[in-house]
Amino acid sequence: MDLVKLIAGEMNLKPWQVDETIKLLDSGNTIPFIARYRKEATGELDETVLRAMVDRLEYLRNLEKRKEEVLRLIDEQGKLNPELKAKILTAAKLQEVEDLYRPYKQKKRTRASMAREKGLEPLALWLLSQPLDADPEQEAVKYLNLEKGITETKQTLSGAQDIIAEQVSDDAEVRKLIRAKSYEKADIVSKAKKEERSPYEMYYDYREAVRSIPPHRILAINRGEKEEFLTVNLEIDQEIILPIIEKRYLKNGPCTPLVQEAIHDAYKRLLAPSIEREIRAEITTKAGEQAVKVFAANLQQLLLQPPVRNRVILGIDPGFRTGCKWAIISDTGQLLEVGVIYPHPPQNKREEAKKEIMKAALAHKVQIIAIGNGTASRETEEVVAEMIQENKLSLEYIIVSEAGASVYSASPLAKDEFPDFDLSLRSAVSIARRLQDPLAELVKIEPKAIGVGQYQHDIQPKILENSLGGVVESCVNTVGVDLNTASSAILKFVAGLNSTAAKNIVAYREKHGKFRLREELKRVPRIGEQTFIQCAGFIRIPDGDNYLENTPVHPESYNLALNILAKAGFSLPDLKSKTSEVRSTLALFSAEELAEELGAGVPTVKDIIEALQRPGRDPREDLPRPLLRKDVTHLEDLREGMILEGTVRNIVDFGLFVDIGLKNDGLVHISQLSTNYVRHPIEVAAVGDIVKVKVIAIDAERGRVGLSMKDLY
């Protein structure tokens, strides 16, 4: 199999692009590095395409390995013939290879294997041939055997039918046809296993076509089955399936009714349950892939939320009985003060709590209060809003997702950072810091614990970790990392680095002081030339000895960058002292002409010009700021038709969840996103977006609000 041509055809790429990319990957280059610094080699393939190529390449290489293994196993049995070998070698899917291997696979004792042990396989083959002038009963007499316990022709014929049934069930072509027809025509049906109130009540008597059931419903039904609220199975009319098999096997003769019985048994007892398992596994895998895709997109948007820099922030981890833990961090993220207030039952020290928070906020010149969105969040928001209004403070507050804060608080990293604090005090610090710099704080948390997906706990952990790990890596390298302030938690995601290298960088920095040049990284243990090449362009040294080191320009292109500056009439110090002049002059240059003149690649020249125009730029700064509030919204304040502003907290297949200041986020169903057709909510908004919404339904009893974005954009 020519993997290069196959992938190029599937992904609509040129073969040379695929070939060069595979060579770069096999040489140990990372995806962020290839996407950013090897654009000429790949034809400017972006990270999304590169990651898709890596996944496909891995699948195809695993497929080739499995083919080799299956060929060896069949050959060892002495049953490999040229026709079978050709079928295996040309199989395009792993399932096809497994179907072809199925008849030769070692099985547990089955009815068919026991019949073979009794010497009935020749009779089964004779029946299958369905001779025209034959008497099955008369033929069956030849296989009576007292020693093997076969005393009646009924036994011999039944055993032969068991062998036929297994042969039909193992027929790769039959399985392929039945699987395709079942996928096309079957319904997935769920019934209540126990009549109790549960989140799965809508599925207590539910039916939907397999081919059209959306991913989130598959995962919901699966979870309901796992939690024993539902029984689930596939249903299809046998009259659709049986003729497909009969057409392949039935002739016309005295033996045909016996073969037909065996076919019906094969389908009911062997094929149907097996195909049902395979189809359910397949649609679950596809649903999981969709869920991972949505989760990954949401996570990327969350990680790339703009930082709230140069602000003193007070973070609150709300709670009832144990109180609300609070922590104040400086404009650089340093912890200034911590405490606990008890404004809620059973203590009810509301006024005392307001005074304590106000005193601490004024003492440290706090500008924003970040409140976690967990238990007692909205009750705590009321306390904060009252304090601001009653004292006419210039303070603002924001509700911050605290998903994963408890995971971080109990982690070894949190224990190292704050060994003398209890878990909730660490959470308060994390809540404040995730507003100040979401990326730097959220990388400390296992991605699946961040909670911006749907049914993530039902997805295979390895698939989820690989995908989300790639998202974190992509975000960290898109933004870049300050080498002199970054924690090991974020450094480990820099292209080419790992946990050990990240810890070594921090240890080196603590011992030798700040890095002045990227080249100094080579002095750090476990960072050799190849690692340096991969990571160098993604680290920043804002106050280093070379101002290029505060840009994404890779050290291998420093001379090219200096030549470009010289062509514009500037030198390196001008990047800092004459930023606007450099920017406007470079904007007049033609990257194509400059690349030809300097003997460089056009994509690289374009990237360098962009980097020189905005040294030190953080790409997150171009995104909209978080929505800050001064007052609280109550459910009873809402009226249908009201237009509100809110923050998109989560995106799922069926809509957006928007924080409009209530205890629960409002839902904009996919049908209410636009007057135009929307394939998926992710096309309309991103996590963190500030959106206008109209209230269209209020369910006071359940605290739910239906929202619409139609006609607002």
Fold of 499-622: DNA polymerase; domain 1 (1.10.150)
Task: Report CA-CA distances (Å) from 689 to 295, 647, 680, 685, 707.
Answer: 16, 6, 16, 7, 15
Give residue 559's pLDDT: 97
Superfamily of domain 111-294, CATH level 4: Tex N-terminal region-like (1.10.3500.10)
Task: Report CA-CA distances (Å) from 107 to 122, 176, 461.
Answer: 20, 21, 30
Per-residue model confidence as pLDDT tens digits over 411-442: 888 888 888 888 888 999 999 999 999 999 99
Answer yes or no: are the C-beta atoms of 537 and 554 closer than 8 Å: yes
Please state which of the ranges 8-22, 298-312, 342-356 shows the lowest mean pLDDT. Answer: 298-312
pLDDT at 258 over 80: yes
Q: Which residue has the tokens 């690349």?
A: 595
Q: DSSP class of residue 346? A: T
Per-residue model confidence as pLDDT tens digits over 505-552: 999 999 999 999 999 999 999 999 999 999 999 999 998 999 999 999
Specify the pairing of strand 396-400 against strand 481-482. unpaired
Neighbours of 201 (CB within 10 A): 14
What's the rounded Cα separation, in Å, for the pair 277 and 46?
37
What are the beta bridge partners of residue 692?
645
Which has more pLDDT, 628 or 182? 182
What's the rounded Cα separation, in Å, for the pair 619 and 621?
5
What's the rounded Cα separation, in Å, for the pair 603 and 459?
38
Q: Which two three-digit tokens encode residue 336?
A: 């200034």
252: left (phi over 0), alpha (psi -120 to 50) or beta: beta
What's the rounded Cα separation, in Å, for the pair 352 and 341?
8
Fold of 313-436: Nucleotidyltransferase; domain 5 (3.30.420)
What's the rounded Cα separation, in Å, for the pair 160 and 168?
12
Mean pLDDT for 452-464 is 73
- Whole-number mean pLDDT of the chain? 93
Task: Concatenate the DSSP letters of all residues of 550-563 into one string.
Answer: GSS--GGGHHHHHH
- List all residues 6 or more positions away from 673 whose beta carbon is below 8 Å from its beta carbon: 655, 656, 681, 684, 685, 709, 710
- The residue extents of the domains of the chain are 3-104, 111-294, 313-436, 499-622, 635-708
Q: Alpha-carbon dihedral of residues 428, 431, 437, 443, nearest 10 degrees?
A: 100
3-state secondary structure of 205: strand
CATH architecture of residue range(s) 3-104:
Orthogonal Bundle (1.10)
* Among the listed residues 527, 523, 497, 495, the one whose alpha carbon sits nearest the alpha carbon of residue 509: 523
What φ, ψ does residue 230 adopt, rounded to 5°?
-130, 150
* Among the listed residues 21, 81, 15, 86, the one whose alpha carbon sits nearest the alpha carbon of residue 47: 21
Mean pLDDT for 166-195 is 96
Which has more pLDDT, 553 or 107? 553
Highest mean pLDDT among 142-156, 310-324, 402-416: 310-324
Give residue 115's pLDDT: 94
Task: Report CA-CA distances (Å) from 582 to 566, 572, 617, 670.
Answer: 11, 10, 15, 46
CATH architecture of residue range(s) 635-708:
Beta Barrel (2.40)
What's the rounded Cα separation, in Å, for the pair 504 and 526?
8
Mean pLDDT for 189-217 is 94
Neighbours of 434 (CB within 10 A): 31
Asked if the domains 111-294 and 313-436 are classified in one and the same CATH topology, the answer is: no
State the pTM of this model. Answer: 0.85
Tally of residues, the chain: 713
Which has more pLDDT, 712 or 513? 513
Answer yes or no: are the C-beta atoms of 202 and 176 closer than 8 Å: no
Give residue 424's pLDDT: 81
Give residue 456's pLDDT: 67
Per-residue model confidence as pLDDT tens digits over 606-635: 999 999 999 888 888 877 778 888 777 778
pLDDT at 81 over 70: yes
Task: Concatenate the DSSP letters of all residues of 271-284 into one string.
Answer: IHHHHHHHHHHHHH
Give residue 324's pLDDT: 96
pLDDT band at residue 455 under the 50/70/90 scheme: low
